[in-house]
Structure 1
């Protein structure tokens, strides 16, 4: 079961790490390994969400998601998107960006370093919005209850996430943005660049969230229409055209999944710039991670264990929040990529072990692991 589900991921990992070793030596090998772990850790919640939707789709659309969807995820978001980011931020053409990345790494590194304030501000604000929207939502399951309970109460204030994000952006533009790190170790005033790029990051988050909500609403409408049609068919004695309706609903499911995947891909792609500017190593590391996210989605669907480790989603979002702050700090200060990569791993590991302890405690007391029975006992006690 494990080999069948993760076989392609294991194969891609072996090929990717060998390619990284040949391309960048042991340093390249280490960077790709860290990027892979980072992508898996920050995208675990994406796998959980995907699995919850994928299990509703028929075998045909599941196969489409795992084939066409993989191509979009790996080659579209993890390979093309980083090139587009560099091209836009450095004001050069995409072809020129790829050519510089492969043929003139020193010039490419200089362009990326000089463009880093705008990249970090854009990505930092996008990731910060994901984190804030998560922690301000009232959830039955709480990991750090002492922190999440009061934040959930504050989250009842409309537009609080956007207000806090804008305050953070203004402060960042006036502090680290005013002394942005540039190629050669010099510092220049990039306050306006940081401010504009951060606002664009917020706008992008709102657009992606709006599209996701649109497809989710369309999906609900299709499912409701399908249910009504089935009821009408039963009353009139006519055959139910379930295939056509299921296909239409599944199509919207597929679109919704791709928008969701794109939104969760931003954090891994943007976060990768905090670890390396090498487009080849970035594509290898994020590609490996994306394959594991897809395999993990299938595994969760087949095993039916989506709710076993309930704090993992919390750990992933705390990792996203930490990465957002790190990106903003790197506008002025250099932070070693090992520290950046390990922050997410530590938070994910902590949430995993908290989930294991909770499951053992509930198992010993004969309680249910998840569900409405847990509303009185929803935290790990941390």
Structure 2
């Protein structure tokens, strides 16, 4: 089971270590290991949230997530995207951006790759922070199957009964951030934050659209008026009871797209924080890429073991951790937040939710027994 789930991660780790030795000698191995641990610690809550989406996808799309998705995650978000961002913000050609990345310049020195990437931090933090904030708000203001922080979550659920409340609250948060402690970058923060909100609403809206199409296909098939085989499932960011039915086709594609944007939002703080460990963009890409592979394997492990069903508050804890990460990203526009703080807050929420779930299972053993059926996964 371990080899089947984590085999690719072990293989990528071996490849990453070989590349590190060839590129930077034996010192590269230590740096890659540290960066991989950094990525895993910062993104463990990402694995839990990914699992809530992945379990709704059929076997084919789960395999796409593990193959094509990891290529996007490792090469796209950990290597190519930072290069593009530096090139765009500093008006550099792709060749010049790559040249700067390979120079290993000091991030404190103006004109270096690390310095330019840090200069783009307000753009990165505002986009990623507002995308994750919308995901969190959609959760806390929406209907939930289980209430972990009972009084708080029930109150917020009532507030969320107002139409488009998550968008209203998200817009208010962005305005306050841009006009107060991020005032020095107000225009950039507003533009990037709005873009993050729009991307979230677009992907979520398309997911709802094609979920509706699937529901219509299912109804037509049941009535003998069509041959559709779609199944109605919650929209990509809507939290509700877990279902055995899996989706494919267009609905699964937008679930996949949603997962990739979510991974991008989680990767931002890791990429920026990695420059506190090394200023070598290639080593950073290798180390964070190895960590990203383990996050994907953890996601599949959670699905295959039915962990989210066994530990009923784990999803709640992960979403509260995302809310904390979104807040930290927005605060980090002006105030430097140590990566250890970001990682520990996420882990604290997950551990607290896990402990609460175990206590719930002991208090309600009959419910726990019904929830121990593992979810099949590709």
* TM score, norm. by length of structure 2: 0.78
Gaps of 5+ in 2: 107-111, 230-246, 372-378
Matching of residues 177-256 of structure 1 within 5 Å: 177-178=182-183, 189-228=184-223, 231=224, 250-256=248-254
Aligned equivalents of 1:224, 1:288: Cα separation in 2: 44
> May I ask how many residue pairs the two structures share in their alignment?
341
Counterpart in the other structure of 1:96: 96
Matching of residues 103-114 of structure 1 within 5 Å: 103-106=103-106, 107-114=112-119
CA drift of 1:267 comes to 2.5
| CA displacement, residues 213-270 of structure 1 (integer Å, 9 cap, x when unaligned) | 2343344344445555xx479xxxxxx998xxxxxx7333541332121232132122
**Could you tell me whether the CA contact under 8 Å between 1:32 and 1:282 is conserved in 2?**
no
CA drift of 1:32 comes to 2.8
Counterpart in the other structure of 2:341: 339
Among 273, 279, 291, the residue aligned to 2:293? 291
CA drift of 1:99 comes to 2.8
CA drift of 1:273 comes to 4.2
CA drift of 1:142 comes to 0.9
Q: Looking at CA atoms only, which structure, 1 or 2, has the larger radius of gyration?
A: 1
Counterpart in the other structure of 1:11: 11
Counterpart in the other structure of 1:326: 328
Counterpart in the other structure of 1:143: 148
Matching of residues 15-30 of structure 1 within 5 Å: 15-16=15-16, 19=20, 22=26, 26=30, 29-30=33-34
CA drift of 1:304 comes to 4.2
CA drift of 1:308 comes to 0.6
Counterpart in the other structure of 2:239: none
Aligned equivalents of 2:39, 2:270: Cα separation in 1: 7
Counterpart in the other structure of 1:310: 312
CA drift of 1:91 comes to 3.6
Aligned equivalents of 2:331, 2:64: Cα separation in 1: 40
Counterpart in the other structure of 1:87: 87
Aligned equivalents of 2:214, 2:228: Cα separation in 1: 18
Among 128, 132, 142, the residue aligned to 1:127? 132
Counterpart in the other structure of 1:49: 53
Q: Residue 14 and residue 267 in structure 1: after superposition, are their counterparts in 2 closer, same or farther (change >3 A)?
A: same
Aligned equivalents of 1:76, 1:216: Cα separation in 2: 28
Q: Cα RMSD over matched residues?
A: 3.1
**Could you tell me whether the CA contact under 8 Å between 1:17 and 1:32 is conserved in 2?**
no
Q: Which segment is superposed worse, 136-145 or 38-47?
A: 38-47
Among 166, 174, 190, the residue aligned to 1:169? 174
Aligned equivalents of 2:31, 2:70: Cα separation in 1: 27
Counterpart in the other structure of 1:245: none
Aligned equivalents of 2:304, 2:334: Cα separation in 1: 46
**Could you tell me whether the CA contact under 8 Å between 1:315 and 1:351 is conserved in 2?**
yes
Aligned equivalents of 1:83, 1:227: Cα separation in 2: 51
CA drift of 1:211 comes to 2.8
Alignment partner of 2:155: what SS? Answer: helix
Alignment partner of 1:331: what SS? Answer: coil
Counterpart in the other structure of 1:182: none
| CA displacement, residues 109-138 of structure 1 (integer Å, 9 cap, x when unaligned) | 221122212221222111111111111112
**Could you tell me whether the CA contact under 8 Å between 1:89 and 1:119 is conserved in 2?**
no
Q: Residue 353 and residue 280 in structure 1: after superposition, are their counterparts in 2 closer, same or farther (change >3 A)?
A: farther
Q: Residue 202 and residue 23 in structure 1: after superposition, are their counterparts in 2 closer, same or farther (change >3 A)?
A: farther
Gaps of 5+ in 1: 179-188, 234-239, 243-248, 372-382
Q: Residue 86 and residue 131 in structure 1: after superposition, are their counterparts in 2 closer, same or farther (change >3 A)?
A: farther
* TM score, norm. by length of structure 1: 0.77
Counterpart in the other structure of 1:264: 262
